[in-house]
Amino acid sequence: MNAFSDRRVLVTGCCGTVGSELVRQLLEVYGVGELVGIDNNESELFFAQQRFAGRPARFFLADVRDEARLKRLFSGIDIVFHTAAFKHVELCEVSPFEAVQTNIHGVQNVVWAAVENRVRTVVFTSSDKAVNPTNVMGTSKLMGERLMTAANSNLRSGKTVFAATRFGNVLGSRGSVIPIFREQIRKGGPVTLTDPDMTRFIMSIRQAVQLVIDSADIARGGEVFVTKMPVIRIEDLARVMIDDLAPRYGHDPAAVTTEVIGTKAGEKLYEELMTDEETRRSLELARYFVVRPAFLSLYREIDYTYADMISDRVDRPYHSANETPLTQAELRAFLYENNLIEGEAAEPFQPAKRF
């Protein structure tokens, strides 16, 4: 038995990278009583139905922009994982009004639906780009975090716990750098780098989702869980992949070059998962940092103590520039351990995989 046994759980964005792995783990590892998955991608919903046929799961075509639809689907639900979002930085820049509709109004609709149906817990998956945002996507994710936090004080329903999780790059996810590097190596290079000094937090899809699920069990309300992750230099990732994959594609690793193309608009050299200001109200747990609400006086009724708390203070912001990167040997071990560069047959599960 675990906290999710016999629970009815709903996942928005169930066909995305994080959402589909959430569905898999909740059904196959945690044994939820019933799972409801919603998405606006008709084709992927069909394949999800095929994959999980025989499991206690139902999948519905729905959009988080539709508040009335969400209110009907949330009926009888115990726990909601809200992963649906527009996440592509450049596309959000050229379509900012659409990003607002999904990433901000969509969160608001999830809040209203959860409160009306007395859902026990709602966990929102945020992004490192919500920290000191420099683009539309990050700004919309920050607003989503703030809406989740505010829901605990402003609504005062006493029935629903709202919290958020914030993590960095999920290697192997759609749009991540690994499939891009792999294709460039397959063609013999060059492998393009925006900046050789760029650092990033990383984790596997499986690890990211495990921590999102676990946070739902310990959330008190209004907090943001910042996942602890290893740091890598992007240049090291390119070098390891070239050394290991080039021979498989018939290339000499020494002949596959890298090319620095410069950073994109709004792109940071290092990744931030916590601001300087947030450190003053953060706690350290074994696997997370917990950022408490900015206006703590509004949350006096919430006891922010946790069983695995290490410290009630955090001394410095959680930036990739402040952390020691993995060595190339450690990075190689991480990639193989998580089946990220095993070759064509070892692509991480994608929701469209045919069964």
CATH at residue 46:
3.40.50.720
Q: Are 62 and 73 in contact (CB under 8 A)?
A: yes
Q: Could you tell me if residue 339 is inside a domain?
A: no
Least confident of 12-21, 73-82, 99-108, 257-266: 257-266
Mean pLDDT of the 65-84 span: 98
- Domain of 63 in residue numbering reads as 8-168+202-228+272-319
Active-site residue (options: 87, 129, 141, 268): 129
pLDDT digits over 265-306, tens only?
767 888 899 999 999 999 999 999 999 999 888 888 889 999
Name beta bridge partners: 191. Answer: 258
141 is catalytic: no
40 occurs within a structural domain: yes
Answer yes or no: is pLDDT of 247 > 60.
yes
Residue 335 lies in a domain: no
Q: Is the pLDDT of residue 346 over 50?
A: no
Inside any domain, residue 132: yes
Render pLDDT for 40-68 as a digit per residue (tens, 0 to 9). Answer: 999 999 999 999 999 999 999 999 999 99
Position 219 in a domain: yes
pLDDT value for 156? 60
Is residue 177 predicted with pLDDT exceeding 70? Answer: yes
- 3-state SS, 48-81, equals HHHHCCCCCEEEEECCCCCHHHHHHHCCCCCEEE
- Residue 158 confidence (pLDDT): 61
Q: How far apart are CA 77 and CA 74, in angstroms?
A: 5
The reply to whether 178 falls in a domain is: no
Count of structural domains within the chain: 1
